[in-house]
Amino acid sequence: MDKNISFTLKVWRQRGPKEKGGFVSYQMKDIPTDTSFLEMLDILNEDLINKGEEPIVFDHDCREGICGMCSLYVNGHPHGPATGATTCQLYMRRFKDGDTITVEPWRSAGFPIIRDLMVDRSAYDKIMQAGGYVSINTGGVPDANSTPISKEKADLAMDAASCIGCGACVAACKNGSAMLFVSAKVSQLALLPQGKVEAARRAKAMLSKMDELGFGNCTNTRACEAECPKCVSISNIARLNREFIKAKLKD
C-alpha cells in the first residue's frame, strides 16, 4: 500500500568550483514512497522555481540505471543505501517518515565540483582516451563461432564491461582511487583476443593517465566493490596489476 512520508533534506549547495559551499536544509512534505530519488529532487526543484529560487543542479540522463550520471552521495553511500543500484533506481520507500537525508556530490580531487551536486567526470574520458580501446585493424569481422573463447572468459569480460563509469568506486575509496574503473576497462579487453595486440601499451598508458589526473592508489579496502552499482569485482584489479607487471617486464 502506497503511503507518503515527510523528511528533512540536507543538500550541498555550491555556486561554482571556486566558491565556498555548504549544506542547505529543505522540508519535504507528503512525498509518495513510490517516488524515485531523482523524482523527489524534481519535486523540490519545481517548488524552488515557483518560489523564484535557484533549483538544485544535479546530473541525470537515462534514469534507468544504464548511464551512471545520477552520481549522488546519499547518507554516506555513493548512489544511496540500495545495493547494486544507481541513484535513479533508489526509491523513497528506503527511507522513513521524519528521516534526515543528506545529499552530497562525489568528493574527489579527480572529480572537481561544477555546481551543487554536479561534478566534472571528464577525467574518466581522458583515461579511456589513453588506452581503453582497440585501434589495430584486424581485418574483416570473422564469424563469432570461429573464434574460440571459453565461456568462463567471455563471462568475465562481460562482467567487467558492465562498468558504467559512474565514479562510485572513486567516491567510496578513502584514497580516491580509480583502480576499479581502470581495471574493469582493461580487463574487458585483456580477456578477449581483440585486446591482446595492444595489451602492454594499454595497461601502462591508462594507469599513467590515472596518476596524472590526481586519483589515489588502491589499498584493497574493497569499499569500491561494496558500493559499485554494477557489482564489479576487485578481482579485475589483480588482473590489471598482472597486465601492468607483464608490460613492464617486456620493457
Closest CA to 73 of 233, 232, 178, 227: 227
182 backbone φψ class: left, alpha, beta (φ>0; ψ -120 to 50): alpha
Q: How far is CA 138 from the centre of its chain?
A: 32
- The pLDDT assigned to 144 comes to 58
- The pLDDT assigned to 200 comes to 84
User: Tell me: the pLDDT tens digits for 52-65?
Assistant: 999 999 999 999 99
- The pLDDT assigned to 2 comes to 64
Domains of the chain: 4-104 (3.10.20.30), 122-250 (1.10.1060.10)
178 backbone φψ class: left, alpha, beta (φ>0; ψ -120 to 50): alpha
CB contact at 8 A, 127 and 178: yes
How far, in Å, CA of 235 to CA of 175, rounded? 18
Q: Which residues have CB under 8 Å from 106's CB, separation 6+?
A: 71, 73, 78, 119, 121, 167, 170, 171
User: Tell me: the pLDDT tens digits for 117-147?
Assistant: 999 999 999 999 999 998 877 666 666 567 7
- The pLDDT assigned to 154 comes to 92
Q: Which amino acid is present at 141?
A: V
Ordered per-residue pLDDT tens for the chain, 251 residues: 569 999 999 999 999 999 999 999 999 999 999 999 999 999 999 999 999 999 999 999 999 999 999 999 999 999 999 999 999 999 999 999 999 999 999 999 999 999 999 999 999 999 999 999 988 776 666 665 677 889 999 999 999 999 999 999 999 999 999 999 999 999 999 998 888 888 889 999 999 999 999 999 999 999 999 999 999 999 999 999 999 999 888 87
Q: Which residues have CB under 8 Å from 135's CB, separation 6+?
A: 198
- The pLDDT assigned to 250 comes to 83
What does DSSP say about strands 73-74 and 77-78: parallel, antiparallel, or unpaired? antiparallel
User: Tell me: the pLDDT tens digits for 63-80?
Assistant: 999 999 999 999 999 999
Grid coordinates representing 157 are 569480460
